[in-house]
Amino acid sequence: MWWTKRRWYERNRRPLRRWRLARHAARGGFFIREPLEGEALEALDEGRLRIGEGTLLEPGCWLTLAPEARIEIGAGCFLNRNTMLAALESVEIGDNTMFANGCFVGDSSHRFDDPDTPITQQGFTSKGPVRIGSNCWFGVNCVVTTGVTIGDRCVIGANSVVTRDVPPGTVAAGSPAKPMSRS
């Protein structure tokens, strides 16, 4: 008897999850192309994840949030394949911001200061929330690290690692990302 309930759950878990995500998307006016990885559904249910109208999340996007964390994605944004947002505290993205394939935005880093404890058991450290302005574009495989603020109308070149604040209207590239020009 218990095995029939388990089989029903296993058969219907994914369609039920898809239906719940589709319901959130229809109410919020955003679009998700499956699969969406991470704790997005739970965060949407709890109000800790907000996605603006007209935003599109391509397949393979991964949104992961700590139990008290928040992620806010503005209207008209585009998160391409395999973009990952990881929040220990808060990640905010303004309107009309685009991420190319493979970008990572995280407001924390793994600790590694105790050589006697495995890294997987040391927890995380954070320099504060990540804030990304409106109308920004991130090239392929960009990384935005903890405590960084990126102003409006910025372009971050492919394969860049943003470790410091970027003023509005700046084109930045490199590892670490440095301003190339200002508009």
Active-site position among 11, 23, 33, 110:
110
* Burial track 58-97 (b if 16+ CB lie within 10 A, e otherwise): bebbbbbbbeebbbbbbbbbbbbebbbbbbbbbbbbbbbb
Alpha-carbon distances of 39 from 2, 26, 114, 168, rounded to whole Å: 28, 19, 29, 31
DSSP state of 117: S
Q: Which residue has the tokens 């008209």?
A: 76
Rounded (10°) CA dihedral 40, 91, 172, 151: 130
Q: Which residue has the tokens 């905010």?
A: 92
Contact 75, 95 (CB under 8 A): yes
Is 24 a catalytic site residue? no
Alpha-carbon distances of 41 from 17, 22, 50, 51, rounded to whole Å: 8, 10, 11, 12
Which residues are designated catalytic?
110
